[in-house]
Amino acid sequence: MKSSEKINHLYWRAGFGLSPGEWQQKKDWSIKRAVDHLFEEAAQIKPVSSRSEFLQSVDKKAGKLSKEQRKKMMKKSRNLIVKQNALWVARMTDDKHSALLERMSLFWHGHFACVTKNSNLVYKQLETIRTHALGNFRAFVHAMCKDVSMIRFLNNQQNKKRKPNENFARELMELFTIGQGNYSEQDIKEAARAFTGWSSDKQGNFEFKERHHDDGYKSFMGKTGHFNGDDIVNIILDRPETAAFITRKIYRYFVNEKVDEKRVNELSRAFLKSNYDIKKLMLSIFKSDWFYESKNIGTKIKSPVELIAGIMRNLQVDFKNPKSLMFIEKALGQILFIPPNVAGWPGGKNWIDNSTLMLRLNLTYYLYGKSDVNFKVKDELEAKKRGQAFRRIEGNINFEPLLNTFDNKSNAAIFDAMKTYLILPPIRLNESDFYPYVYKTHSSDYIKSLAMRMMSLPEYQLC
């Protein structure tokens, strides 16, 4: 396999593909150089300074607001979440930001799946995820257990000494750490008692309400003590089953849905030994020879956000209206900050169905033509409510970087170069098969029409 093909594979899995300028610069790099550069970029990114526009304090007298005032406040929050959605996608596609950090953040966003309608809490949770995305998983879990979005989403506000609520404790073990089959129903009950009193104030900050906390003895996973929530997290993370559960999920997402259990066992042992160093785990994956084996390339169906971000990188697309971007996410079945449930997006073949396939295949043409799109939204309830929806997809394509990268070559050379750039192996494409669909009179027209055609292939849906 050519080094450029390996580079393309790496940047689609550790990021969202390459812009034409990045491709020109990095396609001949060694894997070691590319991986080191990805992690160096991520290390240089500092947490975003607080954006007051997203941080809306909750008025203590909110209960006294009129119906109209409350309505306006909720509308403002919804609009800010739409804006935050667009800003996150922009970070995924901008060369000035770390594609690896945003890719890891997207993975963890699906792992710690949570929904909130408060723009303040959305912003804070994303910054927590970014802060820990390549850090220490133990510290990450502790932080997410104090995340107010998560506390409220999983009803830990209602978890009190006299009436424990088990929802938070159950999902912590089942989905976020150790996985099913590695704990008992009694463990859930005891963990719930340990998390009693973990709540939030009206300004959206974590608050420990001691009067609601059960400080009695608890027996959890074979240990006994006056455990609190932090103790429960540490006991769970001391178990090798937790390292295996997280490593397997990372392997399925970044390597292959068909899990090589031998490799996962090796990786998880090292992950536990490192005390859950996420960066070390990801480095060992991306620098391994087996990551670049043919069986792991072009086997993953791009999620809607991966697909959109990749198109935006490849074609330098700029969405002037954030709602247009969110409209596409909704039509394809993945809206940032709105996972379907606490288990997150199922992924894989679930991304493709009759309601999404044609839009996915024709999305670049819609962007090019700024078309009115007729579709039925993926959500059945929404489809019944609204029926068919017409919406203009407004995205401006800047072809200049693509032309600068691939022009000044013969058509045959342009075809071979763009095939390597846009389509991952092992697909074989012949230039003659594209003749009916491309303009051959001028190289710039040829490049534009060839890009549109290649990106409408089913193979472009894979990474």
If you average pLDDT over residues 355-377, what whole number do you get? 76
Residue of higher predicted confidence among 254 and 354? 254
pLDDT at 378 over 70: no
- Cβ(19)–Cβ(314) under 8 Å? yes
In terms of average pLDDT, the best of 44-48, 60-64, 339-343 is 339-343
> Does the pLDDT value for residue 54 go beyond 70?
no
Radius of gyration of the chain (CA): 24
Q: What is the predicted pLDDT for the residue at 254?
A: 98
List the chain domain ranges: 151-237
**Count of CB atoms within 10 A of residue 180's CB?**
9
CA dihedral of 377, 252, 111, 314, whole degrees rounded to 10: -60
pLDDT digits (tens, 9 = 90+) for 84-112: 999 999 999 998 899 999 999 999 999 99
pLDDT value of position 53: 62
The token duo for 102 is 């945003």
Lowest mean pLDDT among 48-57, 113-122, 221-230, 423-432: 48-57
Q: What is the pLDDT of residue 395?
A: 78
**With 90 as the cut, is the pLDDT of residue 403 above it?**
yes
Using the structure block, give the residue that is written with the tokens 């697309």: 317
390 vs 55, higher pLDDT: 55
Cβ atoms of residues 370 and 392 within 8 Å: yes
Q: What percent of the chain has pLDDT over 90?
A: 79
